[in-house]
Amino acid sequence: MTHLMNNYGQPSLTLEAGQGPWVKDTNGKVYLDALGGIAVCILGHSHPAVAEAVAKQAHTLTHCSNLYGIPAQRELADKLCALSGLDKAFFCNSGAEANEAAIKLARLHGNKQGFATPKIIVMEGAFHGRTLAALSATGNPKAKEGFAPLVDGFIRVPYNNADAVKQAFADNSEVAAVLVEPVQGEGGVNVPDEDYLVALRAICDDNNALLMLDEVQTGVGRTGAWFAYQFEDCLPDVVTLAKALGNGMPIGACIAKGETAELFQPGSHGSTFGGNPLACAAALAVINTIEENEYVDRALELGERLVTGFIQTLADTTGIKDIRGHGLMVGIELEQPCAELVGLAAEAGLLINIAAGNTVRLLPPMILTDDEADQIVDMVSALIKQFLGA
Ligand SMILES: *Cc1c(COP(=O)(O)O)cnc(C)c1O
C-alpha cells in the first residue's frame, strides 16, 4: 500500500542515479535514456556545470521571494531576451504555470480592447499542462474527463491549418490571441508545414491578436534552434518555456515582446518560488553550457542522424506509418497502438515513451555521442521490428 495518489499508476521502474544519457535503477540495471525525463534533461543527467551551479547557489542563497531583487533572475531574463528577440520575462515553476501567465496576458490584452469575454484560439491535439486554464486549452478529451467546469474562452481548430485559424477569427468576435505549439509533443510529435507560424503571425497582425507559442517542449535548443520559431521568419508576442530550461531544476518562463511585455504591472501576477536564486542559477548554467559547446547546432545534427538512421533501418519494415522529427524531438508512428513497446524497451535497457497511442517518441539529450545516437537507432528499430513481428 502506498500513500501516493494513483494519478501516475504503479511505476514499473525506480531510478536512483543518472550520468549523461544513462540511468541506473534500484537493481543496478543500466538504461540508455532516450526520453530525458520527458524533454527536461537536455544536457543529460548530473551535468557537472549544472550540479556545480546548483550546489554553489544552495550554499549561498536558495530562496528569498520576489519581494527582493534576484541578480540571477535579471541575468537570466537578459539572456533569454537576447536569445529570443523578445523584451521581458516572468518566471514561474512549470510549463503549465508559464502558459497560465500567457493566458492571463491574452486576457489583459483583450480586456484592454474592451472585450467582455476575450477568446484564445487553440489547437486540436494541443497539450498545455494540467492546471485548469492550461487544461482547458489542451486538446486531449481524456485529460479533461471529469474536471468540469473547465475555463471558458477557448476556441479549438485543427493543427497545421492556418485557414482554420483565419476562419475562426471570421466566425468569432473578441479573439485576443492564438496559442500554439511549434511542434506538438504530447499530441504525437506533429511537425507542421513550413511557414505555418508565418501565416499565423500575419493573421494575428491583421486582427490585433497575440501570437503565443508554447515552447515548453520545443524551446531551449531542442529543435536545433534556441526556439523553434527561429526556423521561420516570425517573431511571436509571447513564448512559454519550462522543461529543459533548468535541466531538472523546476523553472518556467513566460517571455513577451513590446506592449505585451508591459501588461503585467505591480500586483497583477506573481509566484512565491518563481525564478528563485536556485532555479535561476541552474537555468543560467544550462544556457551557458549550451552556448559554450554549440549544442544547439549539435541538436540539429543529432536529430538528422537519428531520423536518417531510422529511415534506413526501418525502410523494409511494414507497419510504419511515418518517421519524423524536428531536431531532438523524434517520432516513429506505427499503424497500430504500441504502448507495450515501453516495457519491451525497458527490458532491453532503453527508456522511451509513446505519444498519441501509436507514436514512439524520443527526446534524447544534446550531449549524445554519435555512437550513443546510433545505439538508440539500433535498439529502437530492433524493438519495433520485434513488436511488429517483422
Ligand atoms: C510538458 C508540457 C507542458 C506542461 O508542463 P508542466 O511543467 O508539466 O506543467 C505544457 N506545454 C507543453 C508543450 C508541454 O510539452
Q: Whose CA is nearest to atom 6 of ligand 1?
A: 95
Same domain, 241 and 204: yes
Cis peptide, bond prior to residue 149, ω within 30 of zero: yes
Same domain, 16 and 56: no
Pocket of ligand 1 (CB under 6 A): 94-96, 99, 127-129, 181, 185-186, 214, 216-217, 242-243
- Which residues constitute the domain of residue 384? 6-46+294-388
Cell numbers given for 11: 511505476
- Report how far residue 203's alpha carbon sits from residue 169's, in angstroms, rounded to the nearest whole number: 9
| pLDDT recorded at residue 1 | 76
Among 277, 293, 309, identify where a domain stops: 293
Same domain, 82 and 199: yes
306: nearest Cα among 232, 368, 384: 368
Residue among 97, 189, 216 whose CB has most ligand 1 atoms within 8 A, to mutate: 216
Among 293, 315, 350, identify where a domain stops: 293
Cα(180) to centroid of ligand 1, in Å?
12
Same domain, 249 and 317: no
Atom of ligand 1 nearest to the CA of 130: 9
| Residue 198: inside a domain | yes
Whichever domain contains 302, its CATH number is 3.90.1150.10
- The 8-class DSSP code of residue 12 comes to S
Atom of ligand 1 nearest to the CA of 93: 7
Same domain, 90 and 179: yes
pLDDT tens track of the chain, all 390 residues? Answer: 799 999 999 998 999 999 999 999 999 999 999 999 999 999 999 999 999 999 999 999 999 999 999 999 999 999 999 999 999 999 999 999 999 999 999 999 999 999 999 999 999 999 999 999 999 999 999 999 999 999 999 999 999 999 999 999 999 999 999 999 999 999 999 999 999 999 999 999 999 999 999 999 999 999 999 999 999 999 999 999 999 999 999 999 999 999 999 999 999 999 999 999 999 999 999 999 999 999 999 999 999 999 999 999 999 999 999 999 999 999 999 999 999 999 999 999 999 999 999 999 999 999 999 999 999 999 999 999 999 997
Cα(98) to centroid of ligand 1, in Å?
9
The model scores a pTM over 0.85: yes
- Report how far residue 328's alpha carbon sits from residue 342's, in angstroms, rounded to the nearest whole number: 19
| Residue 65: inside a domain | yes
Cα(312) to centroid of ligand 1, in Å?
32
| pLDDT recorded at residue 55 | 98
Cα(95) to centroid of ligand 1, in Å?
4
Same domain, 267 and 377: no
| Residue 286: inside a domain | yes
Cα(275) to centroid of ligand 1, in Å?
17
Cα(184) to centroid of ligand 1, in Å?
11
Residue 15 in contact with residue 25, Cβ under 8 Å?
yes
Cα(382) to centroid of ligand 1, in Å?
30
Residue among 8, 127, 328 whose CB has most ligand 1 atoms within 8 A, to mutate: 127
Same domain, 211 and 121: yes
Q: Which residues are within 8 A (CB) of 340 and not within 5 positions of it... i.e. 6 or more apart?
A: 387
DSSP string, 176-213: EEEEE-SSBSTTTSBPPPTTHHHHHHHHHHHTT-EEEE
Residue among 243, 249, 326 whose CB has most ligand 1 atoms within 8 A, to mutate: 243
Atom of ligand 1 nearest to the CA of 129: 4
Cα(128) to centroid of ligand 1, in Å?
5
| Residue 344: inside a domain | yes
| Residue 1: inside a domain | no
Same domain, 173 and 269: yes
Same domain, 40 and 58: no
Cα(169) to centroid of ligand 1, in Å?
26
Same domain, 17 and 85: no
| Residue 116: inside a domain | yes
Residue among 186, 212, 329, 363 whose CB has most ligand 1 atoms within 8 A, to mutate: 186
Name the phi and psi angles at 47, rounded to 5: -60, 125
Would you say the C-alpha torsion 280, 281, 287, 288 has a positive or negative sign?
positive
Same domain, 325 and 235: no
Whichever domain contains 187, its CATH number is 3.40.640.10
Residue 172, number of CB atoms within 10 A of its CB? 11
Atom of ligand 1 nearest to the CA of 38: 1
Among 293, 308, 340, identify where a domain stops: 293
The tally of domains found in the chain comes to 2
| Residue 210: inside a domain | yes
Same domain, 186 and 289: yes
| Residue 287: inside a domain | yes
| pLDDT recorded at residue 63 | 97
